[in-house]
Structure 1
Amino acid sequence: MASLSARWHRSLQEIPEADWERLVGEDAIPFYRWRWLTALEASGSIAADQGWQPLHLALRRDDDTLVAVAPLYLKGHSYGEFVFDQAFARLAADLGLRYYPKLVGMSPVSPVQGYRFHVAPGEDAGALTALMLRLIDDFAARNGILSCNFLYVDPAWQPLAEAAGCACWLNQQSLWSAQGQEQFADYLAGFNANQRRNIKRERQAVRKAGISVTPLTGAALTPALLEAMHGFYAQHCARWGPWGSKYLESSFFDALVDPELSAHVVLFSAHRGDPHDPVAMSLCIQDQQQLWGRYWGTREEIDCLHFEVCYYAPIAWALERGLQRFDPGAGGSHKRRRGFVARPLASLHRWYDDRMDALIRAWLPRANGLLLEEIEAINAELPFRAETPALGLSAADL
């Protein structure tokens, strides 16, 4: 460990792509790839003037070999995280503490499970995790930062961070799993009769409107299509006014034409003729195992079109491609009736005020227990057969 040096980077472009990719590995999900994160920064979507200052921590040996990295951001707000910590902010105010800025580890504006410190093969991941957390603690102390928060953590990395003193807070999201299904008819067969009729009716409503949905990916993506997708995204966000959560600039969508990125992008184009002249569109991200739903928008109000473009067509695509899981994104109790199971996701936290740390750690066991009870109750009422996820902790354990 004595031969290691630490460096904080205000841009991912300060770290060579090959070095970063060597650490994250070829099996890394798209949201932690160098080009995805760099596109967010280079487009101005994730930048200091947007309340996201990149502040990536890197460890190197004396020969400048990169051995570990932690994707981190100094945040001036809590938007774009989808782990809602407003209660923590209120507690800080009650204690006379400044809550912002805070350190956050995640793939920005993407509530996707998989955050971890990335460590070179052959290195001691546990020891390096503990070392990097001590460096983060020291940085926080020197700069008056109240907390560091790792969101949507990789379950394989979680024990290493908890062993080094991080506190676990559970939140809820949804997931569809194939569970042996091979085609859409298998998916439908898993529902009770009433919900099976509802899904057929919803899909029929879209067909009656003259709408077809075509998936487009890879080389089929054009700058014009991605520009249209940005338009749908911006229009949908604008519908919600100040709560619209519009984070991404048009130049981020322009960057998705890069073959290294477009291979992971799937646009579901809803159209009446030419798929390149869409009425509505959703954007999903894929790898070899999973699909993630991200954004959508429409220029017409068509009954059930949202369900078709954001759920049914992506599930059909996933089944055709042999993908095993579909994460539809944050929020939306309506997902439960369409094949998605509630699951707990862990975030890990460090607070640098003894009073705040003690109060929250005393509250967490009860809060996590109630969350697990809620998930069990939700999944007990699902209108389909499902293998509910292992919750890891039970209310009795807390």
Structure 2
Amino acid sequence: MAELQARWHRAMTEIPRKAWQELTGPAGLPFYGWPWLHALERSGSIVPRQGWQPCHLSLWRQERLIAVAPLYLKGHSYGEFVFDQSFAQLAGQLGQRYYPKLVGMSPLSPVQGYRFHTDPGEDGVEITALMLELIDRFCREQKIFSCNFLYVDPEWQPSAEAAGCATWLNQQSLWTNDGFSSFEDYLAGFNANQRRNIRRERRSIAAAGLKVTPLAGSEISAAMLERMHHFYAQHCSRWGAWGSKYLSEEFFHVDALELREHLVLFSAHGGDPHEPVAMSLCVRHGESLWGRYWGSDREVENLHFEVCYYAPIEWAIGQGIRGFDPGAGGSHKRRRGFLAEPRASLHRWQDPGFDRLLRRWLPAANAQMLEEIEAENAELPFSRRELPLGAC
């Protein structure tokens, strides 16, 4: 490994786009691709003044890029959706400074799939161990308390665990297409009472004079993305200081248009889908769909459920989508067919005492999380389906 050279980068522009994309490959999720991560930086959404300092690590064999890790120095825990505030509180009680911390994830997106992207001709396990050593050294030199990898790829997870990462389980929601041929086929899995509830909720949208139309890829215009920014900003403003308005207007006006091959808008309208009263933005890649943002100009009962869940599920069935991740939070997702599933984050703490405390606590905490997931899924209003425990 002596011929390898490590480099740290303050921006995606310091790493050649073509070389990065060759490592992630055509099957790589858009959230971890160079265009998406660069768009977040270029638009001013992910920049130091917002508490996100890009600090990407690359590994080179002479002039050939062989591995990359998207990383960020953070002065807070917002935009992660893995809530480590209790860790920060414990560190403070022990006289430790928790921030800044180093985080590996696709910013603002609780999307499973984080990993170090490695040339397939290299030994991935060996490269992972080497890059973690480099990260540890960087953290010690810069007096950074911890490094945290969120929503990790289950296939990469064993390599990182073997190199000393501690695993913490949280939960996420997921709808899985069990071979449904129609929305009614999907409804058949619920008990009779919940089938009636969902049909009633959908009918209420038609009774309000609204319908929902999906627009995908090249069907999405710059004007529609501007409207999406309006809905996004308006929805965030309703929550005041807790509104989580992370994406800049520039992201919707310029960058989202360049990324629209991955986007699907669900427009709720009274007749013209280009004149929406509400809209949600989803991301599609292969057989997967992710719900991200939504907003509405009108208070219409059940409109959120239709625009963010039912219409995307109906579209997903028609498109052969296998899985739909609706985003973080929301117990109301459970009653609409989204099962709870475990999601792993991996952690490395530089303080030995803090590290020992957390590693002693994690096994019981993870076991409790798996029990909670099983209990939540057991209460879902299904009539006939076995409830999978995913990675449990």
In the superposition, the TM-score normalised over structure 2's length comes to 0.98
Aligned length: 391
In structure 2, distance between residues paired with 1:193 and 1:276: 36
Tell me, what secondary structure is at the counterpart of 2:346? strand
Q: CA deviation at 1:257?
A: 4.9
Q: Does 1:290 align with 2:284?
A: no
In structure 2, distance between residues paired with 1:205 and 1:288: 32
Q: Does 1:162 align with 2:161?
A: yes
In structure 2, distance between residues paired with 1:388 and 1:20: 38
Counterpart of 2:111 in structure 1 is 112
Q: CA deviation at 1:366?
A: 0.7
Counterpart of 1:206 in structure 2 is 205
Q: CA deviation at 1:13?
A: 1.0
Counterpart of 2:4 in structure 1 is 4
Could you give the per-residue CA deviations for residues 209-230 of structure 1, whole angstroms, max 9, x where no partner exists? 0001010111111111101101
Say whether the 8 Å CA contact 1:221–1:257 is kept in structure 2. no
Counterpart of 2:329 in structure 1 is 331
Q: Does 1:38 align with 2:55?
A: no
In structure 1, distance between residues paired with 2:53 and 2:113: 21
In structure 1, distance between residues paired with 2:180 and 2:5: 49
Tell me, what secondary structure is at the counterpart of 1:231? helix
Counterpart of 1:313 in structure 2 is 311
Tell me, what secondary structure is at the counterpart of 1:263? helix
In structure 1, distance between residues paired with 2:390 and 2:347: 20
Which letter does structure 1 place at the counterpart of 2:381?
P
Which letter does structure 2 place at the counterpart of 1:275?
P
Could you give the per-residue CA deviations for residues 309-357 of structure 1, whole angstroms, max 9, x where no partner exists? 0000000010000000000000000000001000000000000001110
Tell me, what secondary structure is at the counterpart of 2:247? coil
Which letter does structure 2 place at the counterpart of 1:29?
L
Tell me, what secondary structure is at the counterpart of 2:372? helix
Q: Does 1:137 align with 2:136?
A: yes
Tell me, what secondary structure is at the counterpart of 1:100? coil
Could you give the per-residue CA deviations for residues 269-327 of structure 1, whole angstroms, max 9, x where no partner exists? 00002111100000000011110000000010001000000000000010000000000
Tell me, what secondary structure is at the counterpart of 2:96? coil
Which letter does structure 2 place at the counterpart of 1:374?
E
**Greater CA deviation, 174-183 or 149-158?**
174-183
In structure 2, distance between residues paired with 1:300 and 1:18: 44
What are the ranges of 5 or more consecutive residues in structure 1 without an aligned counterpart? 394-398
Counterpart of 1:269 in structure 2 is 267
In structure 2, distance between residues paired with 1:356 and 1:367: 16
Q: CA deviation at 1:391?
A: 4.9
Residues 1:257 and 1:362: Cα distance change in structure 2 (over 3 Å)? closer
Q: Does 1:98 align with 2:97?
A: yes
Counterpart of 2:320 in structure 1 is 322
Say whether the 8 Å CA contact 2:341–2:391 is kept in structure 1. no
Counterpart of 1:396 in structure 2 is none
Counterpart of 1:126 in structure 2 is 125
Say whether the 8 Å CA contact 1:202–1:304 is kept in structure 2. yes
Which letter does structure 1 place at the counterpart of 2:9?
H
In structure 2, distance between residues paired with 1:389 and 1:192: 18
Map 1:142-291 → 2, pairs under 5 A: 142-259=141-258, 261-291=259-289
In structure 1, distance between residues paired with 2:67 and 2:297: 45
In structure 1, distance between residues paired with 2:294 and 2:219: 18
Q: CA deviation at 1:66?
A: 0.1
Q: CA deviation at 1:390?
A: 3.8
Say whether the 8 Å CA contact 1:226–1:256 is kept in structure 2. no
Map 1:371-386 → 2, pairs under 5 A: 371-384=369-382, 385-386=384-385
Say whether the 8 Å CA contact 1:341–1:386 is kept in structure 2. no
Q: CA deviation at 1:387?
A: 4.4
In structure 1, distance between residues paired with 2:84 and 2:170: 11
Say whether the 8 Å CA contact 2:289–2:325 is kept in structure 1. yes
Say whether the 8 Å CA contact 1:256–1:265 is kept in structure 2. no
Q: What's the C-alpha RMSD, in Å, of the aligned pairs?
A: 1.0
Identity %, equivalent residues: 66
Q: CA deviation at 1:375?
A: 0.5
Counterpart of 1:55 in structure 2 is 55
Q: CA deviation at 1:143?
A: 0.5
In structure 2, distance between residues paired with 1:389 and 1:346: 17
Tell me, what secondary structure is at the counterpart of 1:365? helix
Say whether the 8 Å CA contact 1:146–1:352 is kept in structure 2. yes
Residues 1:386 and 1:118: Cα distance change in structure 2 (over 3 Å)? farther
In structure 2, distance between residues paired with 1:108 and 1:372: 26
Residues 1:257 and 1:146: Cα distance change in structure 2 (over 3 Å)? closer
Counterpart of 1:74 in structure 2 is 73
Which letter does structure 2 place at the counterpart of 1:150?
F
Counterpart of 2:28 in structure 1 is 28
Tell me, what secondary structure is at the counterpart of 1:187? helix
Q: CA deviation at 1:392?
A: 4.1
In structure 2, distance between residues paired with 1:347 and 1:75: 16
Say whether the 8 Å CA contact 1:173–1:331 is kept in structure 2. yes
In structure 2, distance between residues paired with 1:76 and 1:368: 26
In the superposition, the TM-score normalised over structure 1's length comes to 0.97
Say whether the 8 Å CA contact 1:183–1:316 is kept in structure 2. yes
In structure 1, distance between residues paired with 2:369 and 2:256: 40
In structure 2, distance between residues paired with 1:162 and 1:304: 43
What are the ranges of 5 or more consecutive residues in structure 2 without an aligned counterpart? none
